[in-house]
Amino acid sequence: LAKTTQPISMDSYEGQEVNITCSHNNIATNDYITWYQQFPSQGPRFIIQGYKTKVTNEVASLFIPADRKSSTLSLPRVSLSDTAVYYCLVVPEGQNFVFGPGTRLSVLP
């Protein structure tokens, strides 16, 4: 299974754009890149998933370079309610999710 590396923590201010980069050097051809968000005492919540190039939804954008060895989750104009832990997962087709420790994002006023 591909291992992911992401920063342990990040700080930002309200209204700023936040970019969290995840490294996954051993990603395989059939792997997808998925990001989840988790608030304290709640289950993780799906944010976005992609395979290559760029994916955008109403919450975030996901940028994946051609070699797919890294990916960047971009959160536009964060608010205090975006304070959470963000997990980057590389999900092989037909296999199961492996969560790392995630990135603890703190949004300050």
List residues near another protein by CB under 8 A.
32, 34, 41-46, 49, 85, 87, 91-102
Which of 43/109 has CB closer to another protein? 43
Which of 42/109 has CB closer to another protein? 42
Tokens of 31: 């792997």
Are 103 and 50 spatial neighbours (Cβ–Cβ below 8 Å)?
Answer: no
Shortest distance in whole angstroms from residue 14 CB to another protein: 25
Which of 62/102 has CB closer to another protein? 102
Shortest distance in whole angstroms from residue 99 CB to another protein: 3
Shortest distance in whole angstroms from residue 82 CB to another protein: 18
Q: How far apart are CA 10 and CA 76, in angstroms?
A: 15
